[in-house]
């Protein structure tokens, strides 16, 4: 059964002060104070813990957006918009996590951990397993549907991720993770709180290179209306069916043949089945065609009543010439040989609000491919990062 997350939020009173603050008390559903609750602005270094009496106070910079997270292991995590609770005195009631799991296709076992941990690390953390590690990764639970090649991962506890390259420790609350190996697509959602562990010239250099040309950089450029100045090139792209990819009828024929093979001793593969299988594995269902180059941001950005909205009916190709920063003495200097980054965004008609920090509403609904999709945890920066920090 699907678990429902409950939180009771009572607005006790409103008070007028010039600074932005989120404050109040955290209790359980029996009315007892809860200490040690992580309270933070999602994706940033701005956070605090509730005290022994459950009280908390979190100071914010002016105009902060995003979600404030109330998180403690064994309790349901809750997120609410900063704009809904800023400068109000709150009573937050957290409820114990429901122990009932969703229906599982395959039980979580140590064997599943050994078999599937590397799929997860590759798609969630990235390639650098020496310098970017989940300290408590053995707490992860895995479920794999062999028939549909579908992997699900759960994290009963907050993941503690050490990123030596960027000098951060990340407390990551993994809400959901799924990997479709047939489509080679991954989808995960979670909340994160950053704590700086190291700030050297080397970590600053790595942060600058992680930021430059990233999706965070792109959406900040959108908010600041600086797409041309920041050298992003945006093109209008549409999907075109690939005639070489098998048709629905051919894919059905291939699947029916597989079922026959599973239930019989048949070994010889007919030529037509072999051809369909080869085209399915070597071709993509569609090709991408550029309809218009160098489109203005007015084609995909609307500025209305102080809000910046991002939307597009088809797909966007985002190109960027990245010059990697180098450290020469004490100076950070851009290199001379660029690498061209190419990414694809699928808004699919959805409307996303862009914040000044470079965040967007409902980021899990924006499909991205290419170089943007390579920006995994190993390259993730806090939303309050500024170039040079």
What is the rounded CA–CA span in Å between residue 134 and residue 132?
A: 7
Is-contact 220 271, C-beta < 8 A?
A: no
According to DSSP, the β-strands at 325-328 and 301-304 are unpaired
| Residue 101, helix vs strand vs coil | coil
Same domain (yes/no): 269, 222 = no
What average pLDDT does the chain have?
86
Give a yes or no: residue 57 inside a domain.
Answer: yes
Query: DSSP secondary structure string, 285-323?
Result: SEEEEEEESS--GGGTEEEETTEEEE--SSEEEEEEEE-
pLDDT beyond 70 at 18: no
Check whether 199 has a pLDDT greater than 50: yes
Tens of pLDDT, residues 258-280 = 877 776 665 678 888 889 989 98
Do 186 and 146 belong to one domain? yes
Residue 1 domain-assigned? no
Find, among 84, 143, 156, 91, the residue nearest to 112 by Cα. 143
On whether both 87 and 219 belong to a single domain, the answer is no
Rounded Cα distance, 33 and 203, in Å: 39
Q: What is the pLDDT of residue 265?
A: 62
**Domain tally, the chain:** 4
User: Which domain does 384 fall in, by range?
Assistant: 199-241+284-389
Whether residue 271 is found in the same domain as residue 320: no
> Do 152 and 230 belong together in one domain?
no
The number of angstroms, rounded, from the C-alpha of 308 to the middle of its chain's C-alpha atoms is 20
C-alpha angle 27-31-34 in degrees, rounded to nearest 5: 30
Residue 61 has pLDDT above 90, yes or no: no
Q: Is residue 2 part of a domain?
A: no
In a domain, 22, yes or no: yes
For residue 118, name the pLDDT band (cuts at 50, 70, 90): confident
Residues 224 and 330 in one domain: yes
Give percent above pLDDT 70 in the chain. 89
Do 214 and 325 belong to one domain? yes
Residue 239: the pLDDT is 87
Task: Answer yes or no: do 205 and 326 share one domain.
Answer: yes
pLDDT of residue 112: 64
Q: What is the pLDDT, as a whole number, of residue 217?
A: 97
Q: What angle do CA 361, 219, 174 make, to 5 degrees?
A: 45
205/347 same-domain check: yes
Query: Residue 373 — pLDDT band, cuts 50, 70, 90?
Result: confident
Residues 72 and 115 in one domain: no
Q: What is the pLDDT of residue 382?
A: 95
Q: Judge contact between 156 and 77, C-beta under 8 A.
A: no
Last residue of one domain, picked from the residues 220, 251, 282: 282
Summarised one tens digit per residue, pLDDT across range 222-260 is 999 999 999 999 999 998 888 899 998 998 898 888 877
């Amino acid at each position: 059964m699907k678990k429902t997350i409950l939180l009771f939020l009572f607005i006790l009173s409103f008070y007028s002060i010039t600074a932005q603050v989120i404050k109040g008390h955290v209790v359980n559903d029996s009315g007892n104070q809860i200490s040690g609750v992580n309270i933070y602005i999602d994706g940033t270094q701005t956070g605090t813990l509730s005290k022994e009496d459950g009280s908390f106070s979190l100071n914010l910079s002016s105009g902060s957006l995003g979600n404030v997270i109330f998180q403690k292991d064994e309790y349901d995590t809750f997120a609410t918009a900063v704009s809904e609770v800023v400068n109000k005195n709150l009573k937050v009631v957290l409820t114990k996590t429901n122990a009932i799991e969703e229906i599982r296709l395959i039980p979580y076992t140590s064997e599943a951990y050994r078999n599937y941990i590397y799929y997860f690390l590759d798609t969630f953390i990235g390639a650098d397993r020496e310098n970017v590690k989940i300290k408590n990764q053995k707490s992860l639970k895995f479920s794999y549907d062999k028939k549909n090649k579908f992997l699900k991962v759960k994290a009963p506890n907050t993941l503690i991720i050490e990123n030596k390259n960027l000098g951060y420790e990340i407390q990551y609350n993994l809400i959901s993770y799924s990997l479709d190996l047939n489509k080679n697509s991954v989808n995960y959602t979670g909340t994160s709180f950053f704590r700086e562990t190291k700030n050297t010239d080397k970590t600053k250099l790595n942060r600058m290179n992680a930021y430059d040309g990233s999706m965070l950089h792109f959406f900040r450029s959108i908010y600041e209306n600086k797409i041309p100045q920041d050298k992003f090139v945006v093109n209008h792209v549409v999907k075109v069916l690939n005639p070489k990819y098998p048709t629905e009828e051919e894919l059905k024929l291939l699947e029916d043949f597989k079922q026959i093979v599973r239930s019989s001793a048949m070994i010889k593969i007919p030529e037509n089945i072999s051809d369909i299988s080869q085209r399915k594995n070597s071709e993509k269902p569609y090709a991408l065609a550029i309809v218009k180059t160098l489109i203005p941001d007015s084609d995909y950005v609307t500025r209305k009543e102080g809000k910046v909205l991002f939307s597009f009916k088809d797909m966007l190709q985002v190109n960027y010439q990245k010059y990697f920063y180098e450290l020469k003495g004490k100076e950070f200097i851009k290199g001379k040989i660029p690498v061209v980054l190419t990414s694809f965004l699928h808004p699919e008609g959805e409307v996303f609000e862009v914040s000044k920090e470079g965040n967007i509403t409902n980021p899990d609904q924006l499909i991205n491919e290419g170089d943007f999709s390579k920006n995994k945890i190993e390259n993730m920066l806090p939303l309050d990062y500024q170039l040079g920090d």
